[in-house]
Amino acid sequence: MKKLKITLFLSLLVITGINAQDTAETEKFVPSGEPSVKIFTNVHSTFVDGDNTSAFEVQRAYFGYSYSFSENFSTKLTLDVGDPNDGGKLQMTAYLKNAALEYHKGNLKVNFGLIGLYGFKTQEKQWGYRYIYKSFQDQHKFGSSADLGASMVYKFSDLISADAMILNGEGYKNLQSDDTYKGAVGVTITPMKSLQLRAYYDYMSTDVAQQTIALFGGYKADNIKIGAEYNMQKNHALVEDQDFMGISLYTAVEVGKKLNFFGRFDNLTSTNAEDVNGESWNIAKDGQAYIFGLEYTPVKGIKISPNFQGWNPSEDGADFESSAYLNIEISF
């Protein structure tokens, strides 16, 4: 009888332990979500050939919400409010930038819906000053930062990962449905913790094929980071012989716990598809950008940057543009 009681007691402990373990495994993940807000604003003065203009601006505001259903499934919604740049009367327009479902397990990540793209995400992260100036591909319309479609990323090892996307091809501001798609692949190599190399290619075709190639190398140490990229696009906007290319070089140095110095140089060149004056199709937008300044972070969520932005147009007779900026990013 005593043995029976001991056996029953031990059995009860085992069952209780199993139930406790199952409960712990069940309770270790709790579905949850969180909102996010990011605002880019500035005041600046621009000098061109002796003339001066100045303005206060709210460049952009992002309103987002992320929700995790389980350890593997999550969703993200982002509203992008910015200048539509369409020549209309509206100064600010709201766009749905992200509305996607993500599956993430182990080394695999899959996204579906209105998704963020990988075309220049690595470069943008290395540059790190999106609120001041867009990364090269974004600035010069090589592609969009978000689009309708599906993406997959797989990390084979600490050394190498690969990503692939199939997209609508029009970008998140133009969500029309048609039978033209963009395919993209990228490979990222990390030979050491401080060094990252990446190659990217995308293809989209109707009667003419648009192709993009991007190469990137980035180095990060404790108090310095350096990035270099080369970008080329053939038959931009699906127009034959509308080719352009360029480089972007940038660096940032930490000069204090809350203070960074940064600098950047861009050079955009277009070729072929000469217009009636014998000039390149994109000559009015070709040129070199010079950017340098300081970034101060007084508290988490606020970045303040006094900086200089210069633009040297390639077009004959065009004057150098000098701008003094005070940029601010607010995020929470």
Same-domain pairing of 63 and 94: yes
pLDDT level of residue 25 (50, 70, 90 thresholds): very low
What pLDDT does 162 receive?
Answer: 98
Domain that holds residue 115: 31-331
Domain count along the chain: 2
Same-domain pairing of 233 and 89: yes
Sign of CA dihedral 323, 262, 39, 59: positive
Residue 116: partners with Cβ closer than 8 Å, 6 or more residues away: 97, 98, 100, 145, 146
Same-domain pairing of 205 and 224: yes
Tens-place pLDDT, residues 128-180: 999 999 999 999 999 999 999 999 999 999 999 999 999 998 888 776 666 78
Helices (H), the chain: 2-27, 121-127, 136-139
C-alpha span between 100 and 181 (Å, rounded): 18
* Main-chain phi, psi angles of 18, to 5 degrees: -65, -45
Same-domain pairing of 75 and 25: no
What pLDDT does 5 receive?
Answer: 41
Which run of H or of E encompasses 92? Answer: none
% of the chain beyond a pLDDT of 90: 78
% of the chain beyond a pLDDT of 70: 87
CB neighbours of residue 331 within 10 Å? 14
Same-domain pairing of 80 and 209: yes
Same-domain pairing of 44 and 11: no
Same-domain pairing of 208 and 301: yes
* Main-chain phi, psi angles of 34, to 5 degrees: -150, 145
Same-domain pairing of 25 and 102: no
| CB distance 59 to 84 below 8 Å | no
Same-domain pairing of 69 and 11: no
Tens-place pLDDT, residues 108-133: 999 999 999 999 999 999 999 999 99
Lowest mean pLDDT among 10-24, 36-50, 280-294: 10-24
What pLDDT does 178 receive?
Answer: 67
What pLDDT does 13 receive?
Answer: 37
Same-domain pairing of 162 and 54: yes
Q: pTM for this one?
A: 0.86
Q: Is the pLDDT of residue 87 over 60?
A: no
Same-domain pairing of 11 and 91: no
Residue 187: partners with Cβ closer than 8 Å, 6 or more residues away: 160, 161, 162, 163, 198, 199, 200
Same-domain pairing of 239 and 119: yes
Q: Is the pLDDT of residue 305 over 90?
A: yes
Helices (H), 67-208: 121-127, 136-139
Residue recorded with tokens 């029953």: 8
Q: Is 137 strand, coil or helix?
A: helix
Q: What is the CATH number of the domain that holds 130?
A: 2.40.160.10
Burial of 155 (0-12, 13-18, 19+ CB in 10 A): middle
Q: Is 11 strand, coil or helix?
A: helix
- Calculate the alpha carbon distances from 223 to 183, 185, 237, 295 in Å: 37, 32, 40, 14
Type of residue numbered 266: D
